[in-house]
Amino acid sequence: MKKLLVSWLLILVCCIFISCGDTVANNDSSNIKGLDGKKTESSSSSPQKETNKKSESSSAISQKEPEYMGNMTVEYDEVNAQHKVFWSFRYEESGDYVPADATIHIRIENDNGEMIFSKDYDVDKNYYSMWTKDTWDSDRLLGCIYITDQALEKGTIDTGTLIISADTYSGSFNETKKLIYNLPLKDMEISIPDLPYEVKELYYDGSIHQKGEVLDFKIAVESIVNKTTFLSYDIKYKVTYNAEGENKTQYANIGYKIKDSEGVVILSSSIIVGQLAQGETIKTSGYITGNFSLGETYTLEFVDI
């Protein structure tokens, strides 16, 4: 009986020892989970551990491709007659700008629906540099592509939309549209009479009030605003006769008509210059406006009025 009691006591002691060993093992396993970062809050209590985490995160970001494309802007450089197209790439989570290799797709369509430019650019770090702007808090690393006026097809209106998108190793960036101005216009041929050309301003009874000569005349398309064409002109004019006297100073009124290729009068008006006395000559400039079609051929005629 005593032997049986001793045996039961030995068995009970062994069970208690095994149970205590299992509890220690479970506690050790819980601490390892906290140290390896699976429990974020408990492991962040150590400053050294937090520093190591940030270092690893920065290293991981530096090996990633850009996740955000921004700063898409187009500006016109009048001095060099070219458009500058800007963009940037950065890591969305950190804001770091990167000179990423990419294929930049650019199209330009004017407001009359004419596609006047389309090109893909394979860019590398040489396309990027630091740029600044008054409204920015700091300088920015931007890519820049220069598009000269000569590279654009001439159109029938000088405003439009630039569409820019990109492909990188990490994926594609959707199209962004930007307004663009100062697009080159098609030539509009306007023929003028042989010069010098005599014109008269008449009284109501048909007699001559004033007479003069157009010595030189140049006309060209200046711009188009809301489908109204602005033609700029330069004129040199001399008064050769004034019915009110040689020394009488008056405005000179030079009549003209503009006809299209079918002979239809598109515009009938006059250019007023002066004030001039008989024998005086003037050089001046101005604008003629109307609904002209670029690419069309017109004829300008000076007329008596």
CA proximity to 172, closest of 79, 245, 65: 65
Contact predicate 155/186, CB 8 Å: yes
Note whether 224 and 136 are same-domain residues: no
Note whether 200 and 274 are same-domain residues: yes
pTM, whole model, 2 decimals?
Answer: 0.59
Q: How far is CA 257 from the centre of its chain?
A: 38
The range of the structural domain enclosing residue 229 comes to: 189-303
Angle at 113 between CA 111 and CA 117, to 5 degrees: 90
Q: What is the pLDDT of residue 153?
A: 96
Rounded Cα gap, residues 201 and 214, in angstroms? 13
Q: What is the pLDDT of residue 167?
A: 95
Q: What is the pLDDT of residue 150?
A: 97
Rounded Cα gap, residues 297 and 98, in angstroms? 51
Q: What is the pLDDT of residue 188?
A: 86
Q: Is residue 16 part of a domain?
A: no
Note whether 157 and 239 are same-domain residues: no
Q: What is the CATH number of the domain that holds 252?
A: 2.70.50.60
Q: What is the pLDDT of residue 242?
A: 93
Q: What is the pLDDT of residue 18?
A: 40
Contact predicate 173/69, CB 8 Å: yes
Q: In what order do the strands lie in the sheet with 160-168?
A: 115-123, 102-110, 160-168, 171-180
Q: Is residue 43 part of a domain?
A: no
The segments of the chain whose pLDDT lies below 70 read 1-64, 93-94
Q: What is the pLDDT of residue 45?
A: 28
Note whether 199 and 148 are same-domain residues: no
DSSP secondary structure letters along the chain: -HHHHHHHHHHHHHHHHHHHHHHHHHHHHHHHHHHTTSSHHHHTT-HHHHHHHHHHHHHHHHTSPP-EEEEEEEEEETTTTEEEEEEEEE-TTT--EE---EEEEEEEEETTS-EEEEEEEEE-GGGEEEE--TT-SS-EEEEEEEEEGGGSPPBS-S-EEEEEEEEETTEEEEEEEEEE----B---EEE---SSEEEEEE-TTS-EEEEEEEEEEEEEEEEEETTEEEEEEEEEEEEEEETT-TT--EEEEEEEEEE-TTS-EEEEEEEEEEEE-TT-EEEEEEEEEE---TT-EEEEEEE--
Note whether 176 and 194 are same-domain residues: no
Torsion-angle region of residue 95: left (phi > 0), alpha (psi -120 to 50) or beta? left
Task: Count other C-beta atoms under 10 Å from residue 215's C-beta.
Answer: 15
For residue 33, give both structure tokens: 């989970």
Q: Give the total number of structural domains in the chain.
A: 2
Q: Is residue 17 part of a domain?
A: no
CA proximity to 96, closest of 50, 58, 44: 58
In the predicted model, what is the mean pLDDT of the chain? 81
Beta-strand relationship, 297-303 and 189-191:
parallel
Contact predicate 96/62, CB 8 Å: no
Which of 131, 147, 180 is the endpoint of a domain? 180
Note whether 146 and 194 are same-domain residues: no
Question: Per-residue pLDDT tens for 87-96?
Answer: 999 987 668 8
Note whether 210 and 148 are same-domain residues: no
Burial of 10 (0-12, 13-18, 19+ CB in 10 A): exposed
